[in-house]
Amino acid sequence: MKKERRNTLIQSFRYAFEGIWTGIRKERNMKIHCLAVIFVTLAGTLFQITASEWCICLLLFALVASLELVNTAVEAAVDLVTEEKKPLAKLAKDTAAGAVLFSAIVSVIIGCIIFLPYLLELAEKL
């Protein structure tokens, strides 16, 4: 019985990682978020940001990527239920997309708060 449970747990992790990978492969916006993660990681490494700043960046990476995956799931579920244009389907899709956009905008603002002092310091040195 325990072996069945372990396989179920392992399988659930496989499904989750498959979902993440599918989101990255198939969703344009997820690719854009991944590029942002790469650029912010490079900038953070270059400017040697603090541990607290890294934690904030990591939380924002997770927030935006997670919401993008949820948005993808909402869109797929709505499309599975109906191909017709329905007000509630539009509401579900638009609000899920809005959640991603809102978190991305706030992430950019926080990124500016974190990185602007480093950029200004670099500009003064040049």
CB atoms within 10 A of CB 2: 6
CB atoms within 10 A of CB 88: 10
Q: With residue 91 as reference, give the H or E element that holds it.
A: helix 87-125
Whether 68 is catalytic is yes
CB atoms within 10 A of CB 91: 11
Long-range contacts of 63-66 (CB under 8 A, 24+ apart): 63/103, 63/107, 64/33, 64/36, 64/100, 64/103, 64/104, 64/107, 65/30, 65/33, 65/34, 65/37
* Active-site position among 4, 27, 53, 68: 68
What are the catalytic residues?
Answer: 68
